[in-house]
Amino acid sequence: MSDSAVVLNPPAARSKVVPREETQAKLDARSRAAGLIKPAAQYTVADRLEEQAARFGERNFLIYGGRRFSYAEVDARANQVAHALHARGLRCGDVCALAMENRPEFFFYWFGLAKLGVVVAVINTHVSGRPLTHALETTGARAAIIGEECIENFALTPHRPAQPLYVVADAEKPARPEHRAIASADITGDVEGASRACFPRDGRAALRAEETMLLIFTSGTTGLPKAARYSHMRWMSSGDVMEVTLGATPEDVFYCCLPLYHGAAATSVTSTALKAGSSIVVRRKFSTREFWHDVRANGITVFQYIGEICRYLLNAPPQPDDRVHSLRCMLGAGLSADTWTRWLERFGPIQVFEGWGSTEANTAIINVDNYVGSCGRVPDWNKTNFRLVRYDVETESHPRDENGRYILCQPGEVGEGIGYIVNHPEIGGGRFEGYTSEEATEKKILRNVFTDGDAFWSSGDLLRYDENGYFYFVDRIGDTFRWKSENVSTAEVADALVDYPGMELINIYGVQVPGHEGRAGMAAIVMQPGHAFDPKTFYALTEARLPRYAAPQFVRVSSAADLTTTFKLRKVDLQRQGYDDKAFDDPLYVRDDAGATYAPYSLEALERAGLPPFA
């Protein structure tokens, strides 16, 4: 980090933090690892792949079903892709879209394009129509590589940009002939017949580590997603850091069950496994039924989670062999303290590396000492560009001190996590690489925060930390709302109610109430098959776990949750529909304090609750 990053005054509570030796040692090692790759270095992901293929040769890199691909084989297949696509006119600096489900070919084409110096824009395999057109337009893709399993999405998008569409065969999910007909060419045969010899480095020789390697779209929970830039340097540094954090070795086997177009699978899992010489077991998509079978059959030792995945697995019926497995650690985000505790009790002492960050983040926190419920700790504020500043959810602004500067949070205060933006030619850490849209990039930058001319990345996330320096995710800005003059965190309410018996999922959000300030809490829940919603039991749980103002005023019992393909809950449509019983067919309930229950929706129930009809 540059000297200018250190002038920030850390929170006064840092003197109360007593660093743990193992925590500090790990974090120091992470810092050293993060500084290994210089921005101007002419060193790319393709170079790392070739180095590791020479080093680990015949060791398994990818495992998919009954197929195994060594490091040398993956490198050779990437060479074939590079030769074939070079013949099709792709050159260093071009952007190529890649729409393909989790299968070995995804890696072959990704790494093959990297050998050309081509930027890969990974496309959500579930989008079509306007979202797909938006993705292709905002990345400026010169061509698109499409897995046969995804060609229908393009066929159903008539107004997409004009560019060559190259289809890659998929024996597992063959496409209909009329959909295949939109492709410019099937390049499967071209690639299979291409040379396996190392593709010449000349074309990418001048490519610097700081230049963009991937374009990864944000989850799009609130609208059309943005394409975040991910450089060669940041991708490889992620692997360097996580290798140290996880203690990864060539004996480890990673599990890739999240979609590869998502930041977690495409960055942390792949970069770490490649750096450590580990193997990756690839699954098309996450399956509750197959998860533990995959772990045991392949000796999987590390997997990356999203909080919802862990809840799905905990909702499955207990088995006698729940603790008979090879998992030693897991990394991810969104694991509540309750789910975390239940996970360890059921599946045994697995090291949990819960973290906080995002695809586009220039800073991050990670829990390296298994402190339940926390997303990490800052033992030394002089060694991080992360800061937590006060945020007023009512005015949706940052309070300022008498000098017009942002105010650092003290222990227990909720604020926004921000990251000092480092702009130095010799330093890679702390850079904010932004999006393909300059306007979207600028909207995420806070300026003149603590000193004139400084700049910070705005995460949009609310966090807090305790007297020992442990941080906890609170909510997304915009999800936290005010009711009866109190701030209500949707994430904290959901965490308090997540173990309601028989419930599969819960989504908490605020809805507008005519004539009332703020928003009233509403819960959309999905029950597990064979379980029914019991309004009295749910009411009793809210009374035991939540203050009255935070308890949901409405409950909507849905048949399915509105999830992104990376298991993030959408709230936009739910908030718009509010408690308008004419907008949906789901059973709707209103909180009834007098009856200690949630009553079926009616005008009488609203009146008893002191709430007006929806308008």
pLDDT, tens digit, for every residue of 476-518?
A: 887 888 787 677 888 889 988 988 999 988 989 999 898 887 7
Q: Return the CATH number at 594.
A: 3.30.300.30
Same domain for 492 and 582? yes
Tokens of 400: 């300022």
Count of C-beta atoms within a 10 Å radius of residue 188: 16
**Model pLDDT for residues 565-601, shown as the tens digit of each residue:** 555 566 777 888 999 999 999 999 999 999 999 999 9
* Cβ atoms 569, 563 nearer than 8 A: yes
The region of weakest confidence among 27-31, 89-93, 409-413 is 27-31
Amino acid at 387: R
Max CA separation in the chain (angstroms): 77
User: Is 60 contained in some domain?
Assistant: no
Q: pLDDT at position 7, please?
A: 39
Q: pLDDT at position 34, please?
A: 52
119: nearest Cα among 268, 232, 263: 232
Q: Output 519 or 42, whichever has higher pLDDT.
A: 42
Over range 152-157, report the average pLDDT.
93
Q: pLDDT at position 568, please?
A: 56
The residue from 434, 462, 478 where one domain ends is: 478
Query: Is residue 2 scored above 50 in pLDDT?
Result: no
Same domain for 526 and 450? no
Burial of 512: CB neighbours in 10 Å, binned 0-12, 13-18, 19+:
middle
The residue from 478, 509, 538 where one domain ends is: 478
| pLDDT bucket at 559, cuts 50 / 70 / 90 | confident
The span from the CA of 156 to the CA of 133, in Å, is: 11
User: Is 257 contained in some domain?
Assistant: no
Burial of 192: CB neighbours in 10 Å, binned 0-12, 13-18, 19+:
exposed
Q: Output 573 or 139, whichever has higher pLDDT.
A: 139
Q: pLDDT at position 285, please?
A: 92
pTM of the model: 0.81
| Residue 422 belongs to domain spanning | 1-17+384-478
Same domain for 473 and 507? no
Same domain for 394 and 487? no
DSSP H or E stretch at residue 19: none
| pLDDT bucket at 13, cuts 50 / 70 / 90 | very low
User: Is 367 contained in some domain?
Assistant: no
The region of weakest confidence among 192-206, 429-443, 478-492 is 478-492
* Cβ atoms 367, 471 nearer than 8 A: no
Q: Return the CATH number at 7.
A: 2.30.38.10
Q: pLDDT at position 224, please?
A: 72
Please report, in angstroms and rounded to a whole number, the separation of the first and last CA atoms in the chain. 52
State the Rg of the chain over Cα.
Answer: 25
Percent of the chain with pLDDT over 90: 72
Q: Which of 20-29, 214-223, 447-456 has the highest mean pLDDT?
A: 447-456
**Of how many residues is the chain composed?**
615
Q: pLDDT at position 140, please?
A: 95
Question: How far, CA to CA in Å, does 83 sit from each of 43, 91, 164, 236, 586?
Answer: 20, 11, 17, 24, 54
Over range 167-182, report the average pLDDT.
96
Query: Is residue 26 scored above 90 in pLDDT?
Result: no
User: Is 258 contained in some domain?
Assistant: no
**Model pLDDT for residues 441-464, shown as the tens digit of each residue:** 999 999 999 999 999 999 999 999
Q: pLDDT at position 4, please?
A: 34
* Cβ atoms 148, 176 nearer than 8 A: no
| Residues with Cβ within 8 Å of residue 264, at least 6 apart in sequence | 258, 304, 306, 332, 566
Q: pLDDT at position 564, please?
A: 52
Tokens of 454: 């400084």
Tokens of 509: 């959000």
The residue from 422, 445, 478 where one domain ends is: 478
Q: pLDDT at position 29, please?
A: 55
User: Is 551 contained in some domain?
Assistant: yes
**Helix, strand, coil: what percent of the chain each, to 5?**
30, 25, 45
Q: pLDDT at position 569, please?
A: 60
User: Is 243 contained in some domain?
Assistant: no
Query: Is residue 19 scored above 50 in pLDDT?
Result: no
Tokens of 110: 């990704």
Same domain for 464 and 560? no
Same domain for 504 and 578? yes
Question: For the chain, how many structural domains are there in total?
Answer: 2
**Model pLDDT for residues 362-406, shown as the tens digit of each residue:** 999 999 999 999 999 988 888 899 999 999 877 889 999 999 999
Over range 98-103, report the average pLDDT.
98
Q: Output 29 or 497, whichever has higher pLDDT.
A: 497
Query: Is residue 36 scored above 80 in pLDDT?
Result: no
Q: Is the dihedral of CA 121, 122, 128, 131 positive or negative?
A: negative
Beta pairing partners, 458? 418
Query: Is residue 563 scored above 80 in pLDDT?
Result: no
Count of C-beta atoms within a 10 Å radius of residue 203: 18
Q: What is the 3-state secondary structure (H, E, C) of 166-225?
A: EEECCCCCCCCHHHHCCCCEECHHHHHCCCCCCCCCHHHCCCCCCCEEEEEECCCCCCCC
DSSP H or E stretch at residue 136: helix 129-139
The span from the CA of 292 to the CA of 304, in Å, is: 14
The span from the CA of 470 to the CA of 61, in Å, is: 36
Query: Is residue 14 scored above 50 in pLDDT?
Result: no
Same domain for 465 and 572? no
User: Is 114 contained in some domain?
Assistant: no
Query: Is residue 16 scored above 50 in pLDDT?
Result: no
The region of weakest confidence among 67-76, 114-123, 323-332, 507-516 is 507-516
Query: Is residue 523 scored above 90 in pLDDT?
Result: yes
Exposure string of 286-322, with b = 16+ CB inside 10 Å and e = fewer, is: beeeebbebbeeeebbbbbbbbbbbbbbbeeeeeeee
Same domain for 430 and 544? no
Same domain for 507 and 584? yes
443: nearest Cα among 431, 432, 451: 432
Query: Is residue 71 scored above 60 in pLDDT?
Result: yes
User: Is 547 contained in some domain?
Assistant: yes
Q: pLDDT at position 575, please?
A: 85
Same domain for 570 and 508? yes
Same domain for 508 and 582? yes
Same domain for 422 and 493? no
**Model pLDDT for residues 225-267, shown as the tens digit of each residue:** 899 999 999 999 999 999 999 999 999 999 999 999 988 899 9
Percent of the chain with pLDDT over 70: 92
